[in-house]
Structure formats: C-alpha cells, structure tokens
Amino acid sequence: MTIKRFEAGARMSQAVSHGGLVFLAGQVASDTVATGVTAQTQAVLGQIDRLLAEAGSHKSRILSATIYLADMATFPEMNAAWDAWVDKAEPPARATVEAKLAGPEYLVEIVVVAAQAA
C-alpha cells in the first residue's frame, strides 16, 4: 500500500494517508492573532476541513479526535465552536485534555484520524 504525505516539511507532514486512513498532525491556529479559544478552534477546524479534503476525506469520516487545551477553563468555548462544526449524524470518538502547548500563543491543538472516502 502506498503512503502519501501532504504538506511535508523537513520535520513533519501535516497529513499522511495509508491503508484507507488519514492521520493529521496536531493542528494549531496558523494566525495566532485570532484571539480566544473560540476563534482559534474555528481556525483549526477550517484547517482540518482543508487537509481532510486534500487527502480524500471529510469531517463526517473522522474516527477519533484528540483536543488539547492550554486551559481547561476554556472547555465551554471550544465546545461551542466544535458543536457548530462537527457532523452531528457522524460524530467521532473524542478526548479533551489540558496540556502545555508549543507556545503561549496557542490555546488549542486538535489531532484527528479519519477514514478516506470509499
């Protein structure tokens, strides 16, 4: 089976597909001028949409999501953005944890695994 890498750089790829699955790297807001966890979550979800489409998938095909929050107190705001975006007929398994992210400007990071379209 072929391994395909998307937006590959020297350190990592933003997405990798293999065996009918798509693995996304942790996505953070590319423009951290987006202040607040709601705005950053919306930006990250847009990046996830774009990467999944590029890899032949869609949010309705997400199998699992792991969400990392810099501050668990922002859980309700993140959930508001997530709830507006997630495919309600096909919601993925999900975990949310508090974690120290790569820099203080990042408030949320999301990792997903999805199935490619049949």
Contact 112, 65 (CB under 8 A): yes
What is the mean pLDDT of the segment spanning 37-44?
96
Number of domains in the chain: 1
Which pLDDT score is estimated for 118?
75
Please state, in angstroms and as integers, the Cα–Cα distance from residue 7 to each residue in 16, 64, 81, following that order.
9, 21, 25
User: Edge-to-edge, what's the strand order for the sheet holding 4-8?
Assistant: 4-8, 13-18, 21-24, 108-115, 62-69, 93-98
Contact 29, 46 (CB under 8 A): no
Is residue 39 within 8 A of residue 69, CB to CB? The reply is no
Rounded CA separation 115/20 (Å): 6
pLDDT of 31 > 90? The answer is no
Average pLDDT for the chain: 95
CATH code of the domain covering residue 22: 3.30.1330.40
Structure confidence at residue 34 (pLDDT): 62
What band does 47 get if pLDDT is binned at 50, 70 and 90? very high
Q: For residues 43 and 14, what is the distance between their CA atoms, to the nearest angstrom?
A: 15
Question: 49-93: per-residue pLDDT in tens?
Answer: 999 999 999 999 999 999 999 999 999 999 999 999 999 999 999
Question: What is the DSSP-derived secondary structure letter of residue 103?
Answer: S
Contact 34, 79 (CB under 8 A): no
Task: Write out the residue range of the structural domain in which residue 94 sits.
Answer: 4-115
